[in-house]
A and B are shown apart, each in its own frame.
Chain A
Amino acid sequence: MAQEPMLGAKIVLKALVDQGVDVIFGYPGGAVLPIYDELFQQNHIKHVLVRHEQAAVHAAEGYARSTGKVGVVLVTSGPGATNAVTGLTDAMLDSVPVVCLTGQVPTHLIGTDGFQEADTTGITRQCTKHNYLVKSPNDLARVMHEAFYVASTGRPGPVVIDLPKDVLMTKGEYMPPTRIKHKSYKPQVKGDLKRIEEAVALLANAKKPIIYAGGGVVNSGPAACQLLTNFARMSGFPVTLTLMGLGAYPGNDKQFLGMLGMHGTYEANMAMHDCDVMLCIGARFDDRVTGLLSAFSPNSKKIHIDIDPSSINKNVAVDVAVVGDVAHVIEDMTKVWKSAQIRPDQDALAAWWAQITEWRAVECLKFVQDGDVIKPQYAIQRLYELTKDRETYITTEVGQHQMWAAQHYRFDKPNHWMTSGGLGTMGYGFPSAVGVQMAHPDALVVDISGEASFMMNMQELATAVQYRLPVKIFILNNRYMGMVRQWQELLHGSRYSESYSEALPDFVKLAEAFGAVGMRVEKADQLDDAIRAAIATNGPVLMDICVSQTENCYPMIPSGKPHNEMLLGPVADGEQAIDAEGQILV
C-alpha cells in the first residue's frame, strides 16, 4: 500500500485522524508551527487553545477519564514541554491515557542549548509510561500509532512524543494503524484460572468479606463496573471504593459502604480492619488508604486483582494475586463461582452486616446546617440534590472541598468523577472540566473548587469563554487553604503559617472581566436558587460560595494510625493524637 511521501507534520495529523482523535488541547510555539499550519488546513480535528500548557494536559485527562478514550496534547518545545510536566506526572500517578506531542529543536541543534531547547525525553522519562524522540519522518507514523497503543492498553498512562522541527518539515512514508504486536510490551489481560479458583475458594469461606475496589475498575471500562456490581449483588458482600474508584459501584446502593481511607467513612474503614477476606480489585493499597501499614487489616486473607504486576505486593503482601484486566478476571470469577454453586455462610454474612449496620449508625458524615453561614458539606449536598437527575460530571481541585465532594456527592455511574488523587494537583479541576465539557457538550459539568486551587489555573476562564463551554465552577470559598489549615491545627499548634488566602480577588468581577458570569452566595437559603440559576445559564459560571471558614473535614485517620483509630471530630490536642512517627508522614 505504497503512498506518496508526505510532510512529517501531515503524517502527525493523519495518524491522529486514523486514531479516531476528534479534539486536541494545545498551545503553539516555534517548534510546532508546522503542525499548527496543518491543523489550519483541515476540518477533522478540533483544536482547543488553552492558556497554559499544564491546563492542556489536565483538559486531556478530563476528556480521557470521562470518555475512556486517549486525551491528546500538543505543546511547543522548551517552556511548552516543561509546563506540561505537572500534568504528565498527574496522569502518570492516576493512570490516565494521554498522548502529548512536544515540539523540539531540529535534530542537528539537539544538545547545543539551542533556543527553547529542553531535554524533554530526559525530563519526562520518569513521569511518563513511555516516551519517544522521533529522529526520522519515516518513523513518525509507527511511533504515533504505538504511542496510542501504549497509552491506552494495560495500565494506562501518559506517553510523550518529542518532535524535532526538521522531522516535521521533511517528507516521509505514512502507514495506517495495524493491529500492533509490540516486540516487548504485552500487557496481560486474561487472569490465570488457577489463581482465580484460589480466590473464589477463599471468598466462598469468608465470614467477614469486603470488596475494596479502585480506579482500575473505572480504567477497565463500564462493563467492568457492571460485572463488579453483579458480583457484589450475587455474593452479598459489602463494597468500598477508593477516591479514584468512585462511580465504579453505585453510590446509592445498600451494599456500598462509601469511600475508605484517610477521609473515608467509619464503616468502610472498620470493615477493612476487621474483615477476614479482602478482595482488592484495581486498587493499589495507597498510603491514603491503608493508614499504618503494620496494622492494616491484620486478620484478613487478601486477594488482589491488578493488570500491573508491580502493583502487587508493593505495599501490602497478598495471599492470592491475579494479574489481568478487571473485566476479564471478574467475568471468569463469576463463572467459577456459579459453576461451583457457591453460597457463602449466610449466618456469618448476616452477623457481619449487623456489625456494619452498627458502624453505620455512628453517622460519621453527619453535619448540622443551622443559621446563615453555609457549611461546605451542605453546599455539596444541595449541589447533589439539584443535579443528580441530569447527566452531571464532577471535577475537583485538591483540598477539603475535594474530600467533601467525595463524601457527599453520590456517583452512580463510572467516568463522571474526575479528581487528582495520586499527585493531588491543585489546579487540576477547572481545566479538567474544560476537557470533559468538550467531550460532552450537552452535559452539566461542575468543578468543585477551593478559592486557592482555583487561582492555580484560573486563566482557563478565557478558554471556557472562547469555546462557549458552560462549565460551572463551584468555589467553596473558606478563605483558607483549608486542608493545610486543618493539618496545622492538628500538628502545629494552630499556627496558620501562610495558609490564609490573603488578597483574594473579587471572583464575581473576575468572572465578568473574562466575559463569564459571576455569582456570590453568602447565605444558606440562597444556595438552591443560585445553583438553579447557574445551571440555567448558558455559559461558564463562577460561583463564589462563601462557606464557614473553620469547618474541618472528618472523619479522618490521622497519619500513622490504623483504620480503627479514626478521628470522628475535632480533638483537643492533635499533636497528642499523632505520634512522632505519624508526624513525619504527609
Chain B
Amino acid sequence: MTTDINTHTISVLVDNESGVLARVIGLFSGRGYNIESLTVAEVDPAEKLSRITLVTSGTPMVIEQIKAQLGRLVPVRRVHDLTVEGPHVSRELALVKVVGTGEKRVEALRIADIFRANVVDSSNESFVFEIVGKTDKLNAFINLMEPLGLVDVARTGAAAIARGSESI
C-alpha cells in the first residue's frame, strides 16, 4: 500500500441520539486523525437519522482505519467513502464579510458577480456575500476578497452526495 496522503469525503449515516457527534469527534481526536471539515444535520426526522459528511486526509491504511473505526460505533448505520465509491457532488456554503469603500467596494461586487455570490446584507461600508460551491471555489473567492477588505468568514464545511440513482 502507498503512503501517499489523500483527502477523502466520507458520508456517515447515524442514529440521531445524544452523544453521537461526540463519539465521532472523540474518535478523531483520540486516535489522532485529521478532520478537515465535518457537517451534520438530521436528514430523516421520522427515523431519527442524521447524516455526517466528513472530509479527512491520510494514507490509504489510515483512511481504511477511519472507516472501520466509524463503523464500529454502535449508533453508526452506514459509512461510505464517496471519494473511492464513484463520482459525487460536494458543496459548501460560505458567508463572507467585506468592509471597504470606493474602488475596493466596486471590485468586491464585480468579483462576487463572477463567482455568482449573492449579497445577503449590505451597509454603506460592508457587504455580506453568500457563496455556494466546491471547497476550491470558496477558497478562491475568499483569497480574492482578502485584499479588498475581508474581515469575517463563516463556512459550513462540505456536504456531499453520490451522483446517480444509488442512495446511501
A317 touches B61 (CB 8 A): yes
Kindly provide the distance from the CB of B74 to the nearest chain A CB, expressed in whole angstroms.
4
- At the interface, yes or no: B68 with Cβ under 8 Å from chain A? yes
A113 to B61, CA, bound (A): 42
B23 touches A183 (CB 8 A): no
Residues of A near B64 (CB, < 8 A) are 313
- At the interface, yes or no: B8 with Cβ under 8 Å from chain A? no
B74 touches A317 (CB 8 A): no
- At the interface, yes or no: B46 with Cβ under 8 Å from chain A? no
Interface string of A161-205 (1 = CB under 8 A from B): 000000000000000000000111100000000000000000000
Given contacts A150-B74, A184-B74, A313-B61, contact A125 B23 (CB under 8 A): yes
A125 to B24, CA, bound (A): 10
Kindly provide the distance from the CB of B19 to the nearest chain A CB, expressed in whole angstroms.
6
A121 touches B19 (CB 8 A): yes
- At the interface, yes or no: A371 with Cβ under 8 Å from chain B? no
A184 to B30, CA, bound (A): 23
A125 touches B77 (CB 8 A): no
A310 touches B71 (CB 8 A): yes
Counting chain A CB atoms within 10 Å of each CB, the highest count among B1, B14, B61, B74 belongs to B74
A125 to B22, CA, bound (A): 8
Counting chain B CB atoms within 10 Å of each CB, the highest count among A133, A309, A310, A313 belongs to A310
Residues of B near A130 (CB, < 8 A) are 74
> Among residues 27 to 77 in chain B, which have CB atoms less than 8 Å away from a CB atom of chain A?
30, 61, 64-65, 68-69, 71-72, 74-77
Residues of B near A476 (CB, < 8 A) are none
- At the interface, yes or no: A129 with Cβ under 8 Å from chain B? yes
Kindly provide the distance from the CB of A429 to the nearest chain B CB, expressed in whole angstroms.
28
- At the interface, yes or no: B87 with Cβ under 8 Å from chain A? no
- At the interface, yes or no: B124 with Cβ under 8 Å from chain A? no
- At the interface, yes or no: A505 with Cβ under 8 Å from chain B? no
Kindly provide the distance from the CB of B35 to the nearest chain A CB, expressed in whole angstroms.
16
- At the interface, yes or no: A312 with Cβ under 8 Å from chain B? yes
Residues of A near B1 (CB, < 8 A) are 317
A310 to B76, CA, bound (A): 14
Kindly provide the distance from the CB of A299 to the nearest chain B CB, expressed in whole angstroms.
18
Residues of B near A125 (CB, < 8 A) are 19, 22-23, 26
Residues of B near A126 (CB, < 8 A) are 26, 30
Residues of B near A308 (CB, < 8 A) are 68, 72
Kindly provide the distance from the CB of A160 to the nearest chain B CB, expressed in whole angstroms.
11
B65 touches A313 (CB 8 A): yes
Interface size on B, as a range, is 20 to 34
- CB closest residue in chain A, given B14: A184
Residues of B near A312 (CB, < 8 A) are 68
- CB closest residue in chain A, given B17: A132
- At the interface, yes or no: B18 with Cβ under 8 Å from chain A? yes
A309 touches B26 (CB 8 A): no
Kindly provide the distance from the CB of A320 to the nearest chain B CB, expressed in whole angstroms.
15
Quick one: which of A122, A150, A185, A310 contacts B68, CB cutoff 8 A? Answer: A310
- At the interface, yes or no: A343 with Cβ under 8 Å from chain B? no
Kindly provide the distance from the CB of B56 to the nearest chain A CB, expressed in whole angstroms.
15
A536 to B74, CA, bound (A): 48
Name B's interface SS: helix
Residues of A near B65 (CB, < 8 A) are 310, 313-314
A150 to B75, CA, bound (A): 11
Kindly provide the distance from the CB of A240 to the nearest chain B CB, expressed in whole angstroms.
25
> Among residues 133 to 156 in chain A, which have CB atoms less than 8 Å away from a CB atom of chain B?
133, 150
Given contacts A126-B26, A183-B77, contact A310 B19 (CB under 8 A): no
- At the interface, yes or no: B15 with Cβ under 8 Å from chain A? yes
Residues of A near B69 (CB, < 8 A) are 310
A313 to B68, CA, bound (A): 10
- CB closest residue in chain B, given A310: B68
Residues of A near B71 (CB, < 8 A) are 309-310
Residues of B near A314 (CB, < 8 A) are 65, 68
A308 to B64, CA, bound (A): 13
Given contacts A122-B22, A150-B74, A310-B69, contact A184 B61 (CB under 8 A): no
Given contacts A122-B22, A125-B23, A133-B18, contact A184 B76 (CB under 8 A): yes
- CB closest residue in chain B, given A155: B72
A130 to B15, CA, bound (A): 14
B61 touches A309 (CB 8 A): no
Kindly provide the distance from the CB of B66 to the nearest chain A CB, expressed in whole angstroms.
9
Kindly provide the distance from the CB of B32 to the nearest chain A CB, expressed in whole angstroms.
13
A309 touches B68 (CB 8 A): yes
A133 to B23, CA, bound (A): 14
Kindly provide the distance from the CB of B43 to the nearest chain A CB, expressed in whole angstroms.
15
- CB closest residue in chain A, given B72: A310
A312 to B67, CA, bound (A): 12
A309 to B38, CA, bound (A): 23
Kindly provide the distance from the CB of B1 to the nearest chain A CB, expressed in whole angstroms.
6
Counting chain A CB atoms within 10 Å of each CB, the highest count among B14, B72, B77 belongs to B72
Kindly provide the distance from the CB of A143 to the nearest chain B CB, expressed in whole angstroms.
11
Residues of A near B19 (CB, < 8 A) are 121-122, 125, 131, 133
Residues of B near A182 (CB, < 8 A) are 74
- CB closest residue in chain B, given A133: B18
A131 to B26, CA, bound (A): 14
A129 to B76, CA, bound (A): 13
Residues of B near A133 (CB, < 8 A) are 18-19
A121 to B26, CA, bound (A): 12
A121 to B75, CA, bound (A): 15
A contacts, CB < 8 Å to B? 121-122, 125-126, 129-131, 133, 150, 182-185, 308-310, 312-314, 317
Q: Give 13 new A-B contacts, CB below 8 A, not counting A121-B19, A309-B71.
A: A125-B19, A125-B26, A126-B26, A126-B30, A131-B19, A150-B74, A182-B74, A183-B77, A184-B74, A185-B74, A310-B68, A312-B68, A314-B65
List 15 interface pairs A-B (beta carbons < 8 Å), by A numbering: A121-B19, A125-B19, A125-B22, A125-B23, A126-B30, A133-B19, A183-B77, A184-B15, A184-B75, A184-B76, A308-B68, A310-B68, A314-B65, A314-B68, A317-B61
B contacts, CB < 8 Å to A? 1, 14-15, 18-19, 22-23, 26, 30, 61, 64-65, 68-69, 71-72, 74-77
